[in-house]
Structures are given as C-alpha cells and as structure tokens.
Chains A and B, each alone.
Chain A
C-alpha cells in the first residue's frame, strides 16, 4: 500500500497548517457571527472562497454592504499575489487532470508553501496524490475552523466588543513580517501613504482609488529604479 504512506506524509506535512487554520478560521467565524452571519455563512464562504485575507476583508465588506464591483476589484488586488503562485506551479501540476481544478481552488499561501517544499515531497510515490491531499486537508481544516467559530460566536454569549481587532492584528502582523524579511520598504510605504491619502479624500470608499494610486506609484517606481528591479 504505497499510497497509504503518501497519505500519512501529506497529513504530517499539513499539521502546522492544521493548528494555524483552526485558530485563524475560528477567529474569522467568531468575527463573522458578530455581524449577524452564522455557521451556514462561514461554511459557504470557507468552501467557495478559501482565503484568509480575503475572507476577513469580506466580513467588513458584507457589513458595509459594498458594491459587487468594489468587492471584485478589492478581491483582485488582495489576492493578486496568487497570480504568482501559479506561475511557479505550472510545471508541477502538469498532468494532474481533473484534480487540477481543485488544486487551483485550494492554492492559498499556506498550501503553496507546502507544495513548494520539495524536501518533503522527495520520497513521495505519487506526487499528484500528495499535492491533492495536502490541498484537501488544508481546505478541511479551514472549513472546520471557520464554521466552528461562527457556531460558537452565535450560540455562546460573551462580550465580543473589540474582537474586530483580530483583522487589524492579522494584517499588521503580516505587514511587520514582510517589513522584517525584506530590505526594500518603498512598496510598503507606498501602500500605507496611498491608503492614508485616499481615506482622507474618499473615506469609506477608499479601496479602489487606493489601488489605482498604488498601481500608478509602483509603475513610476519601476521606471525610476529600473536598474534595481529589472534583474
């Protein structure tokens, strides 16, 4: 039963994501429930969207009732990084057949980091099965975490005042992590400054103008520093 070994390897590799997704998903579910959306919504969102930052942002969007166009553009920008995950997996996922549709759906930051870990995949017999299982396990953890959080938040009464901050904390943590692991801080500063300026002008409708300003500023930055970025 060589496949049985692969199942075990896929599960062991996914354990760190298990812990992270249960906790982050739970936080999402609780936050979602404070806006009046229960377990069925958490289930629906975690199955169809499967994305940390975008689902957290979606809580705010649902609560604000923003337009579908704003939501589409915001998702485009928030999840734009996924474009670049695919580029490095085009070869790896070649020949996965029907599984590919699901492998694409489940390509989150965490799943990406697992399937890219060639060291872990070295002794796997059926690599395509391994990629599929890692993706499936991650998705299941996320669905369980999100749904449990929303069911908990709906049924257990506790003073949830201030829990919205989990979203700020999530993005702030990623921001600090990126700042520490990269020497070039100009793109990060461009993001913050554009957002502050556009918030001052457009208030709650700041997302789309901010993203346009960011795109223009980053394009200009590349032009100014093309020697630095073109290698």
Chain B
C-alpha cells in the first residue's frame, strides 16, 4: 500500500468517525430533560447558512479571473443553477441542468 492510499483510507475513516460522533452527541448528552443551551440552539439555527455559503466559495476557489474562457462558464452555469432553482425549486433539476450546461460550455464553446 502506498502512503497516499493509506492517507486516503485514514482520511475517509476520520471523516466517518467525526460524522458519527456528531450524530451521536445529542443522544449522549441530552437526556431529553435538561434544556439545550441557548448558544447551541442559536448555532443550530444560523450555522448551516454560513457553512453552505463557505462551501460554495470553497468549490470555486480555484477560478482564475485572468482568462474569460476560464471564468465565464462558471458564471453562466452558476446563473443557470440560481435562476432555475428560484423558478422551479427542484433540487435535482437545478443540479443536473447546471452541471450539464457547465460541461457543454467547457467542452464545446470555450
């Protein structure tokens, strides 16, 4: 096994364990009688919005604005996703149409 394979396996296991601990935490800590701390409830409300915003930026962090043919497909396909989703509110449709239009743009247009 190469070092990078081992690293990949460990990376998946670390992510799996952290995910499991997160899912199990409330069952271990909150008996259902003790009230949940207000700050935790607050984070539960607002954190998902901030995190998804961060993940969007994480995905596009490698965009280079030096060449139009590089960033324009992102802008157009991103607009397809946003407009389609505002219009139809269908998650799968937005994802598939956005991805196909991006693939078409980078393969055939730019």
Q: A residues near B, CB below 8 A?
A: 19-20, 23-24, 27, 37, 41, 44-45, 48-51, 53-54, 57-58, 60-62, 65-66, 68, 71-72, 75-87, 89-91, 93-94, 100, 104-105, 107, 159-163, 165-178, 180, 182, 184-185, 187-192, 194-196, 199, 203-204, 206-207, 210-211, 214, 217-218, 221-222, 229-230
Contact = CB atoms under 8 A, between A and B. Distances in A.
A71 B54 contact: no
Contact of A230 (B38, B60, B81): B38
Which of B51, B73, B98 has the most chain A CB atoms inside 10 A of its CB? B51
Contacts of A82: 19, 22-23
B8 interface: yes
Contact of A204 (B19, B24, B31, B61): B61
B106 A161 contact: yes
A161 B107 contact: yes
B50 A176 contact: no
B55 A162 contact: no
Nearest to B92: A23
25 contacts: A45-B12, A50-B19, A51-B19, A58-B12, A61-B15, A62-B8, A62-B11, A75-B15, A75-B18, A77-B54, A80-B43, A81-B51, A84-B44, A89-B26, A162-B103, A169-B77, A169-B81, A172-B94, A173-B94, A187-B49, A187-B53, A191-B49, A195-B57, A217-B50, A229-B42
